[in-house]
């Protein structure tokens, strides 16, 4: 199982907690998936809808539900568009959720929700220096990855595709290169996964875990989809660990021809 900042988690599947039709559906999805980590957002407005808030009855009910799941909590800085905003949000989240773990998001583009590499690195330096265990949401850029590691991050979370698109692993070459460049760094594919097969592919590439939200929360049957993703991560990891055959350009017969009669 993956180890993040010295803590082993129970599953290679990490789930977000937003967009579910109801708290009961959210709970069912987590129970059925066996996910080891739940990402949660610190809402800066009233959380009357029961989702991820830091004030109001809805926020208290949400936090009670998350605690009951028995998973590791990974607060995030979703919706932040500057380093300063992300740093402030992270510090508030540490007080509310009582953890030094933080999924660091600094968004640089409104349409693609691509991370801002400059703001991300700035915020990562500040938060790591402040004792946070930073999980940076980043791209597959190897140079940026190296700078984030130098800043104190011990985990990387490269995107598969833009958040909520369900397009899977858009840049296989880039992700494969990133994995090879930092073979000992725990890495989580975060964002853009839409099907369990995408998760299996990420595992086959050697990534340690996957994080997703929309693909499960917006499915017709979120609990079934969550279980599907859980099984896919297990299958993909088993395939990787089994030392799979390399691809070939030419056919190779599975039945030997030696000893066959010549007619």
Residues designated as active site: 103
Say which residue the tokens 């500040």 belong to. Answer: 126
Sign of the Cα torsion 99, 102, 103, 109 reads positive
Residue 176 in tokens: 């494969």
Distance CA(147)–CA(138), nearest Å, equals 11
Distance CA(100)–CA(95), nearest Å, equals 9
Distance CA(30)–CA(27), nearest Å, equals 5
Question: Which residues lie below 8 Å from residue 238, measured CB to CB, with a gap of 6+?
Answer: none
Say which residue the tokens 């049957």 belong to. Answer: 221
Residue 154 DSSP SS3 = coil
The helix or strand, by DSSP H or E, that contains position 157, with its residue range, turns out to be strand 157-158
Distance CA(149)–CA(129), nearest Å, equals 13
| R_g of the chain, CA atoms, integer Å | 20
Smallest CA-to-CA distance from 230 within 27, 9, 1, 34 is with 34
Query: Which residues, listed in sequence order, are joined to residue 116 by a DSSP beta bridge?
Result: none
């Amino acid at each position: 199982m993956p180890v993040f900042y010295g803590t082993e988690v129970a599953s290679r599947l990490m789930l977000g907690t937003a967009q579910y039709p109801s708290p009961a559906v959210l709970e069912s999805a987590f129970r059925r998936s066996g996910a080891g980590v739940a990402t949660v957002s610190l809402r800066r407005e009233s959380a009357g809808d029961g989702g991820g808030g830091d004030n109001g009855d809805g926020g208290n009910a949400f936090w009670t539900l998350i605690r009951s799941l028995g998973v590791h909590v990974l607060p995030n800085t979703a919706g932040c568009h500057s380093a300063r905003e992300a740093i402030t949000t992270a510090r508030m989240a540490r007080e509310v959720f009582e953890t030094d773990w933080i999924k660091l998001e600094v968004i640089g583009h409104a349409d693609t929700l691509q991370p801002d590499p400059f703001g991300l690195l700035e915020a990562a330096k500040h938060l790591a220096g402040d004792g946070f265990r930073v999980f940076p949401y980043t791209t597959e850029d190897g140079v940026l990855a190296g700078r984030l590691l130098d800043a104190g991050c011990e985990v990387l979370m490269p995107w598969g595709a833009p958040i909520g698109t369900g397009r899977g692993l858009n840049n296989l070459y880039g992700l494969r290169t990133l994995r090879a460049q930092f073979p000992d760094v725990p890495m989580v594919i975060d964002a853009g996964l839409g099907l369990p097969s995408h998760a299996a592919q990420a595992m086959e590439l050697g990534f340690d875990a996957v994080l997703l939200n929309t693909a499960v929360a917006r499915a017709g049957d979120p609990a079934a989809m969550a279980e599907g993703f859980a099984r896919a991560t297990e299958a993909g990891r088993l395939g990787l660990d089994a030392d799979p055959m390399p691809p070939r350009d030419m056919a190779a017969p599975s039945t030997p021809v030696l000893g066959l009669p010549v007619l």
